[in-house]
Amino acid sequence: MRVLVTGGAGFIGSPIVEALRAHGHDPVVFDIRTDPAADIRDPQALRDALTGVEAVCHQAAMVGLGTGFTDAPDYVSHNDLGTAVLLAAMAERGIHRLVLAGSMVVYGEGRYTCPRHGTVRPGPRDVTALTAGHFEPPCPACGADLAPGLVDEDAPSDPRNVYATTKLAQEHLAAAWARSTGGSAVSLRYHNVYGPGMPRDTPYAGVASFFRSALARGEAPRVFEDGRQRRDFVHVRDVASANVAALTADPAAGGLTAYNTGSGTPHTVGEMARALAAAYGGPDPVVTGEYRLGDVRHITADSSRLRAALGWKPEVDFEEGMREFASAGLRGE
C-alpha cells in the first residue's frame, strides 16, 4: 500500500515510515523539514503528493503548550487549516483512508472518582490554589479529595489549551470528511510519547525532552508542581506500530473511530524524571513547585479498545525505554 505520511521526517513520523517499510508498504514522506515546498496548507503541493496514494497517515502538526495565547493563530493555521486542506485534497483524489495523530489532550483532565459523588469532572485549575501548592483538583460538588483513574474514549472532551482545542478540531474535521465521502478515519489519541529523536527543549517539546536536554547540559531536570502528576509514557516505536495496525485494519467507512494509544501503565512525572536521571547518570531531579496553568493534573489512558480492536500492544516497557532514551540523541543536537 502506498501511504502518504505527513510530517514523515519528524519525531513520530520517521519511525512510522520505517515501520511501514518493514511491513512491505510504500511510504511517501511529505514534510517541510525535507522539502520547503511541502507545506500542509498548500493545496497544489498536496494534490501532487497524493498521486497514486491509497491512504494517508497525518502526523504533521504544531505541538506542545507553546508560549502563550499569542501562538493561537499559528496552531490553528498549521493544525486545523492544514488538516482541512489535506482532507479536501483527499476528497478530490478519491482517497478514502486516513489515520490521524490525535492526542489525549482532548480530554482535559482525566477520570476522577469522589467517594460521595462517584465519577466527576473537575473544573479549571485555580490559580490561588496552585500558587499555594495545592495541586490536586477537589471534587466540584463537595471539595473532597479525588482518586484519579484511567480515561476511556467515551469520556467527554474538555480541551484546556489552544493546542488541545486544535487537536479536537482535527478530529471533527476528519469525522465530517468521512461522513461526506464515505471514507474511513481513525484518530490515535497519543499519550506522552517519548524516545530517540525527540526535538530538543523548545517551548513546543514534551516534558521528556525537557528533562533529557537538561541532563545533556549537566543540569538537574526541573519537575513542576510536586512531581506526582500522573501520565502514560508510551515509546515512539509502539506508537509507530499502532499507526501501521490502524492503516492495515479493516476500515469502518463513514465516520471516525478514536483509540487511546498509551502504554497502559501510569507513572508520575517525578518517577519519569528520576528513572531518566538514573539511567543517564545524574544529576538528580529538582521538584520546583512551579506550574503552567494550561497543564492538567492527571491524564492516563485506558488503551484496551485499541488492543482489542486492532490486536496492538506496546512492546517497550518503561525501564527499558528510559534506559534507551537516556543514551539516545535528540533532534537538533
Annotated catalytic residues are 163
Rounded to whole angstroms, what are the CA distances from 171 to 84, 91, 96?
A: 11, 16, 15
CA 231, CA 247: separation in Å to the nearest integer? 26
**C-alpha cell read off for 64:** 506542545
Does residue 83 contact residue 174 with C-beta atoms inside 8 Å? yes
DSSP alpha helices (H): ranges in the chain?
13-22, 43-49, 72-75, 82-93, 127-131, 162-181, 207-216, 236-248, 269-280, 304-310, 318-327
SS3 assignment, position 148: strand
Nearby residues of 218 by Cβ (< 8 Å), 6 or more positions away: 283
CA 119, CA 105: separation in Å to the nearest integer? 19
Does residue 110 contact residue 149 with C-beta atoms inside 8 Å? yes
Chain centroid offset of residue 209 CA? 14
First to last CA, the chain: 34
Q: Which residues pair with 223 in a beta bridge?
A: 287
Please state, as a whole number, how many other Cβ atoms lie within 10 Å of the Cβ of residue 248. Answer: 17
What 8-state DSSP symbol labels residue 109? S
